[in-house]
Every structure is written in structure tokens, then in C-alpha cells.
Structure 1
Amino acid sequence: MSLATDAADQPTLYKRIRDDIEKRILTGEWPPGHRIPFEHELVARYGCSRMTVNKALSELAQADLIERRRRAGSFVRRPQHQSAVLKIADIRAEITALGRAYGYELIHRRQRTATAADRDRLGVQKAGKVVAITCRHSADKVPFAIEDRLIDLSSVPDAATADFSREPPGSWLLHHVPWTEAEHTISAIVADERTADALAITVGAPCLVIDRYTWRSARTITAVRLLYPGDSHRLVARFKGG
């Protein structure tokens, strides 16, 4: 194809390229994190100029369907997720509500006498028993959040025999243990090697952190830290004036 022909057909051709890539993304053929063919590969595939390809990719980036990384190429963007700050959400229900397939993996579960660090985290004085749990939640097989949780067995004795290999601890607690008070602390960190590996992100990438504590009649039920990839999750709260 000549440059003159490409220039004449550019308005239609760049739209065709954009629509083709958009269709592959929206149908799931190219899932979140998938690398889009490099510009020179798209030039060869569609028989057009690099300018035409660049315009199509720019529009897809503006629509938040792809992200362009210098020297690395273009990748399908992970969907933005919204969480309510002022309520305790069930991550499984949250992912399902987004129309995505929920996945769960129990990474670690241990029952032990509370350490000094455990007591400090739970805000308790006595060295009772706790269940320590680390698990991963995913959406469409993409890591969504890492959960690090302590459950105080003096407040929730049934947690000692609950099968957290099948049911996420957050879901189990919401359905079995009533709470009267909760607190959220929201912060941000950069991913260390362990976190980056668990969330399938790069070391040093930003992570959203939610530390949550729940009580029942002044007795601690659980303390949990949730880690989310910072580029694919946001918190939204809407308020009404009195």
C-alpha cells in the first residue's frame, strides 16, 4: 500500500484497527495484561503507516482500554474497581457484581497462641489463640487482592474448625459473626518482592492498602490487611449533607 493510498484511507483504516483491537479486548480474547502487538507488527498486519496505528492506539488509551508503556509496548488495561469505604464488602460478592469470575486461593492458615505482635494488632491484652490466614482473591484469573487476616478465637471459637480452604474468611465472618463496630485505615505502599509476586505486578509498583478492624461489644473479632494493585483499584464514597 502506498503512502498516498494510506493517507487517503486513514480515517477509515485507523477506525478499523481501533475497532478490531477493542473487540478482542471486550470479548476477552485479549485479557487484562495481554500485550498488544508492537506498532511495527500492526503496520505489517494492516498494511498501513505507523501514524495510522499510533492514532488507533492513542484513542484506545484515551478510552482506558489499553495502557502504553515506554519501551515495553501497549497492554490491555486492568479494569478499574470501585469499593465502598464505609461498609464491609464481601470481596467475592464484589467481584461477582462486576460480572467477573471469582477465584480464591488459601495460601497459608495457622492456628497458634497469639504472639506479642498478634496481641498488639488485635488490641488485646491476654495471649489467647488466633487463626492467621493469608489468601488471594482473583477476578477472571487476574489477582485482585491479597488478604492477611487474624481472627481472635476467644471471640470467634467456631473459626477454629471453619474450612477456609473452601470459603474465604471474610465471607464466612460476614455470614456467621455479627459485628457492632468497624474501622478502616487507608494507605499506600510500594510492592516488595513478595507482594509483587502475589499480585503479579512489578516490584516498586503502588499498592492500595486497607487495614480493617471489627469488634462486637468492645471485643475484637478480626484484624485484616487487604492489598490491591494500585493501578486497578479505587475507593469511592458518596456523602449527603444533613
Structure 2
Amino acid sequence: MNDLNMDAPIEALDVASSVPLYMMVKQHIVKAIVAGNYKPGEKLPSESRLVKDLEVSRMTVNRALRELKRDGIITRLQGVGSFVSKSSPTSSLVALSDIRDVVIGRGAVYSCKMLIGEHCLANKSIADLMGLDKNSPIIHVSMLHFSNQDPIQIESRYVREEFAPDLLKQDLINSSMFDYFQSISPVSELEQLVEARTPDASEQKLLQISENTPILRIRRRTWVGPKVVTLGYFSHPGDRYRVTVRVNPADLSGQSIGFEK
């Protein structure tokens, strides 16, 4: 498939693929930006051009562009078009984005493996963090994510069952859990705690690291309205990852940074 280029036609996407079309459009645009075909501040092809060249619906293209804007990769001006963000976003583990998009945005090959997918009851520690009663019904999903076949993240999520009762019916290998949650209801609040610690035996095995290699773990809670709907733990090999935080000064009101011993 050719990269996006206004002077050359774009090959149609593989509609037989199990990856959602809007995600394929996102990946295609991100790869073109990473390859340098479009510089920061440069205008992307119009929606109508993308619809024609990629042979997908306007709805599909519009969703892809909306999510690229949400991820900070592009900006959109009504009646003018879509542009590559002037400050090209750093792949950030703290950003509210999906690891799939982070890996693809770096030009690497993404894959994942399902470790756990089950309905269960919340123990006391999980229940307390989610504002639930002990033994409330939740869904537990654990996945191992790869970049170019190297394990880079262990994801373990606990989800309020009433928020996403059909979660385990989704194709979580070929589609984004993050996008599925966003399709149900956009997150209204997010809290993240970052810590460095030594890996346990399971983490050493899954991430293919030694007992002396620290891991970087992010605990993320998300709210929809007053309810915590997801509690996630994301563990990364600390010798290969750094945390980058980029905040728009206009959005600093009401935000705080805390340190815990």
C-alpha cells in the first residue's frame, strides 16, 4: 500500500481484514505522518479524497479523523480541513491513548495475546478502588502487547460489569478495548499513578526481563460521571521505557500532581 501522497493514488484498504476499517484508516494516516510525507502543520487530504482513494465510507473516514484529533496527532478546522499537529505528539504512556496506536505510530508492527478474559467478583482492594461493594460483578481482562514481537506491556483491566456487559464478546485481539469503551461513553475523568518497582516472577516471564530489571507500572482509573468504570494496571520494562507528559497550559486548571511513598 502506498503512503498518503496527493500526487499518487492510494491503494484501497483490505476490506477482508478483521481490523475495523476506521482503525486501518487511522493506521494508514499515522504511518504517512511518521514516514515524513506530511510535516507538522501541513494539510492532509480532504475527507472526500480519502473516501475516494481508500474506497471507504465518509463515516469511516470521519471517525478515523476524529480519533486522530483526540489523540493529538492532527488538528481539524471546520470548513478548512485537517492538519498534522504542529507539535508532533510524543508517544506517551501517560496519554489517554491505546497501546496499539502508540506502537503503530512509531512505525512498528503491533500484536497482542489474550491472557485472561473472565467475569468475576471484585475482591476488597479492587472494590475499594472502584467504589464498589466487595463481590460486586466485574470483568477482568489481561493482555500482553508486543512491538515487533517484543513484549512491551502487560495490561490488566477490571471493568464495572454494568458499564460494558458485552466486553468479552468483542474481538479484543483485532480491535481496541480503549475505542470500545469510548464508543459506549467518553471518559469524563482520568487518574493515573506511576511507580517503578521490581518485577514478580510472572512479570519477568511475560516481559522477558531479569529480576533486576525494574518495571514501570501505571495504575489508571477512569470515570464516567460519578462512577469509576475501569481500573487498569499497565506494566512496562523499565529499561526500555520513559514516561512523557505533555499538558496544554490551558487545561491545567483543576489538575494536580501527587507523590506517594
**Alignment CA distance shift 1:190-1:112 (3 Å):** same
Partner of 2:223: 215
The alignment yields a C-alpha RMSD, in angstroms, of: 2.1
Give the unaligned 5+ runs of structure 2: 1-89, 251-261
Q: 2:170 aligns with which of 162, 165, 181?
A: 162
**Alignment CA distance shift 1:158-1:235 (3 Å):** same
Partner of 1:103: 111
d(CA) in 2 for partners of 1:191 and 1:92? 23
d(CA) in 1 for partners of 2:168 and 2:112? 20
Displacement of 1:204 after TM fit? 2.5
Are 1:199 and 2:207 matched, yes or no?
yes
| Structure ranking higher in strand proportion | 1
CA contact (8 A) 1:92 1:171 kept: no
Give the unaligned 5+ runs of structure 1: 1-80
d(CA) in 2 for partners of 1:188 and 1:89? 21
Displacement of 1:235 after TM fit? 1.2
* Percent of aligned pairs with the same amino acid: 24
CA contact (8 A) 2:117 2:168 kept: no
d(CA) in 2 for partners of 1:220 and 1:241? 26
Partner of 1:149: 157
Q: How does 1:83-122 map to 2 (within 5 A)?
A: 83=92, 85=94, 87-122=95-130
Q: Which structure ranks higher in relative contact order (CA pairs < 8 Å, sequence separation ≥ 6)? A: 1
In the TM superposition, what whole-angstrom CA distance separates every residue of 1:55-96 from its partner, at most 9, and x where no partner exists? xxxxxxxxxxxxxxxxxxxxxxxxxx84153x3111100100
Q: 2:140 aligns with which of 124, 132, 146?
A: 132
d(CA) in 1 for partners of 2:121 and 2:198? 31
Are 1:228 and 2:228 matched, yes or no?
no
CA contact (8 A) 2:112 2:146 kept: yes
- Count of matched residue positions in the alignment of Structure 1 and Structure 2: 161
| Structure ranking higher in helix proportion | 1
CA contact (8 A) 1:183 1:213 kept: yes
Classify the secondary structure of the residue corresponding to 1:119: helix
d(CA) in 2 for partners of 1:238 and 1:88? 11
Partner of 1:177: 185
Letter in 1 for 2:125: A
Displacement of 1:168 after TM fit? 4.5
Larger radius of gyration: 1
Displacement of 1:201 after TM fit? 0.8
